[in-house]
Amino acid sequence: MLFDQLFMPAILLMMFMSSLAITCYLSHSQSKLRILDEPKSYSLHTEPTPRTGGLAIYVALLSGVLSHYFVYGQTSFLMWYGLSATILAIVAFADDISDLSVSIRLAVQTAIAGYIISKGIILSAISLPGGHWVIAGWLSIVTTAIYIIWTINLYNFMDGMDGFAGGMSVIGFSTYAVLSYIKGDSLLLFISLSLVVSTAGFLCYNLPPAKVFMGDVGSYLLGFSVAVLSLYAHNESVIPIWLSVIIFSPFMIDASLTLIKRIYRREKFWQPHNNHYYQILIRSGLRRTKILLVGYATMLTVSLCAILIFDAEVFVQLIVSLLLLIAYMVIIFLIETKFARHLAIEETY
């Protein structure tokens, strides 16, 4: 009993310190793994910055996963989660080095999604407060694969501002930890906290002005973790999928709407750009620190709402979800009319 009480705090502290130390090394000018992200036309940074910080998140997380598995060894979930994350990290690191083609990245992500599905992690029903809709047969497989692939890339799309993706991950996975603790799911609690401390160590060097970026290794790993943990939590009746969407909605709504707009405009939506809502605000002249704090406040608000309505009556869940949707619609309308339109006019001239 005493060992169980001491193991988790000790291993979490080890992961945080590992992430912090590795990130410090990766941000140093003498690091042998120093791959610089050169500023481009769509970039928000102006100085070459290392982009291998995601390695620190990966190494710290994997050390914790392996420690937990070898001490308790009661589930195969940790092993195939760790294996999938490792394959994804290798491909992402190769992409950070040499910019792999979209087809190669998509092929690997599809293969990983297939592997996850083969382990029984399938979205067989879409739940909403008060009910769910069953997804039959092959359609559930396709839906799950699309969800996994999209969520992996979603974090990659949204990783464009100092401290943004890392901070949102700390808040989001902390919320997962609270909900899994309430439900008594020790495995989900451990993985969620592992992601929190591994990302927090990196975040210490990623806050404005960032000394290092997480790169594809970090963004792919975090996006993959959101997808897998949300599907696992849904299948195990710990956290319904609709609540996971609410928790990570600031990222999901921005990335999804931006993608839809680019497809509608017949743009090459797979190429990097600076048309996300947070990027529009920055390009309009607002201070980045202010936008970052607003983003954190938004994530904390939806996370708190998710915790409060977790075991609430269906009516309360519906009302809060509707209010959040209305709030998002108002925010998007204001950004589109007050900032995006004016910015487009200014850039035309």
**What was the pLDDT predicted at 338?**
81
Helix (H) or strand (E) holding 133: strand 131-134
Burial of 284 (0-12, 13-18, 19+ CB in 10 A): middle
Q: What is the DSSP string of 195-224?
A: HHHHHHHHHTTTSSSPS---HHHHHHHHHH
**What was the pLDDT predicted at 39?**
65
Mean predicted lDDT score pLDDT of the chain: 88
Spatial neighbors of 149 by CB under 8 A, at least 6 apart, are 106, 109, 110, 113
- C-alpha distances (whole Å) from 338 to each of 207, 259, 280 are 28, 20, 11
**What was the pLDDT predicted at 207?**
92
Spatial neighbors of 183 by CB under 8 A, at least 6 apart, are 238, 239
Position 349 confidence tier, pLDDT thresholds 50, 70, 90 = very low
Q: pLDDT for 73-122, tens place per residue? A: 667 888 899 999 999 999 999 988 888 888 999 999 999 999 999 998 99
Position 239 confidence tier, pLDDT thresholds 50, 70, 90 = very high
The structural domains of the chain, with segments of one domain joined by +, span 2-248
Distance CA 261, CA 335 (A): 14
Burial of 28 (0-12, 13-18, 19+ CB in 10 A): middle
As a whole number, mean pLDDT of residues 16-43 equals: 83
Residue 36 is given by DSSP the state: E
**What was the pLDDT predicted at 341?**
65
Q: What are phi and psi of 310, to 5 degrees?
A: -55, -50
Q: What are phi and psi of 126, to 5 degrees?
A: -100, 120
Give the global pTM. Answer: 0.92
Position 260 confidence tier, pLDDT thresholds 50, 70, 90 = confident
At 132, is the secondary structure helix, strand, or coil? strand
Distance CA 38, CA 238 (A): 43
Q: pLDDT for 194-229, tens place per residue? A: 999 999 999 999 998 889 999 899 999 999 999 999
Beta strands 36-37 and 49-50 are antiparallel
Q: Are 278 and 259 in contact (CB under 8 A)?
A: no
**What was the pLDDT predicted at 348?**
44
